Amino acid sequence: HLAAHPAPRAYLLWGAHAQAHAPRAQPGVPQLVLAANHPSPLSALRPPEPFIGCDHFRKADAFLVAQGQTPVDWLGEHPEDGPAQGAAA
C-alpha cells in the first residue's frame, strides 16, 4: 500500500476515469498530480487538457529529481543494456 511509503510520488491521470480516482493529499508526502485527456486517438488532442503536448513525462521526472529521487526509465531501458534500439547514444 502506498500510504506505508512516504517517498515522493507523481500521478499521471489520463482520462476521466483515472481523474475520478485522483489521490488525496497526504501530509508529509510530496506529490505531483498531472491530469490530461486519455492518449487514445479519439481524445489525445481534445481540449481542455490535450494529452499531446502535455509534457507529463518531463514534468514528472523534473519533480522527482527536485525531490532527490531517480527519474523514471520511461523507455524501459536498463543501464547495463545500453541505449534502446534507435535511441541516440
pLDDT tens-digit profile of 64-89? 999 999 999 999 876 665 555 544 44
Write the pLDDT tens digit of every residue in 1-12: 666 778 999 999
Q: Quickly count: other Cβ atoms within 10 Å of residue 77's Cβ.
A: 13
Q: Using a cut of 0.75, tell me whether the model's pTM lies above it.
A: yes
Please give the pLDDT value at position 56.
98
Going from N- to C-terminal start, the domains of the chain cover 2-81
Euclidean distance between CA atoms 45 and 54, whole angstroms: 10
